[in-house]
């Protein structure tokens, strides 16, 4: 079946440093979504990417969808303590299934 991997599993950064998490699928995707889950909270939708090579920005967050639509990345510039949480990618396999990656847990040291 479809597999979705995320790396790294954990990332500890000093406040102000940049952070990137990568999401890789074993199959070509119709779209990919990114969610953030704070400790003790529930996933919150961040963005959806649909087109090959698509890049979207939200303030300090930059999302990218790979040309082959099998991978994606989330980059945070100049992290803040409010960025703490687990970032999940969720892969849509053309409506067949919806698979969340295992997540990257980000901690930011002040």
Partner 1 sequence: ETGVTQSPTHLIKTRGQQVTLRCSSQSGHNTVSWYQQALGQGPQFIFQYYREEENGRGNFPPRFSGLQFPNYSSELNVNALELDDSALYLCASSRGYGGGMSRNEQFFGPGTRLTVL
- Per CB under 8 A, 63 contacts partner 1: no
CB 4 within 8 A of CB 34: no
CA distance 65 to 28: 11
| Nearer Cβ to partner 1 (77/84) | 84
- Minimal distance in Å, beta carbon 35 to partner 1? 8
Q: In the chain, what are the helix, strand and coil shares in percent, each to the nearest 5?
A: 5, 55, 40
Query: Binder to partner 1 among 19, 43, 49, 79 (CB under 8 A)?
Result: 43
- Per CB under 8 A, 99 contacts partner 1: yes
Instruction: Give CA 62 to chain center in angstroms.
Output: 10
Contact residues for partner 1, defined by CB under 8 A: 1, 30-31, 33, 35, 41-45, 48, 88, 92, 95-103
């Amino acid at each position: 079946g479809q597999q979705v991997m995320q790396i790294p599993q954990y990332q500890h950064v000093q406040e102000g440093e940049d952070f990137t998490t990568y999401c890789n699928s074993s199959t070509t995707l119709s779209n990919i979504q990114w969610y953030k889950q704070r400790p003790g909270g529930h996933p919150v939708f961040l963005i959806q990417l649909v087109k090959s090579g698509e890049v979207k920005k939200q303030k300090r967050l930059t999302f990218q969808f790979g040309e082959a639509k099998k991978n994606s990345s989330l980059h945070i510039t100049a992290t803040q303590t409010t960025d703490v949480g687990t970032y999940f990618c969720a892969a849509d396999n053309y409506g067949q299934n919806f698979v969340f990656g295992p997540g990257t847990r980000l901690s930011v040291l002040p």
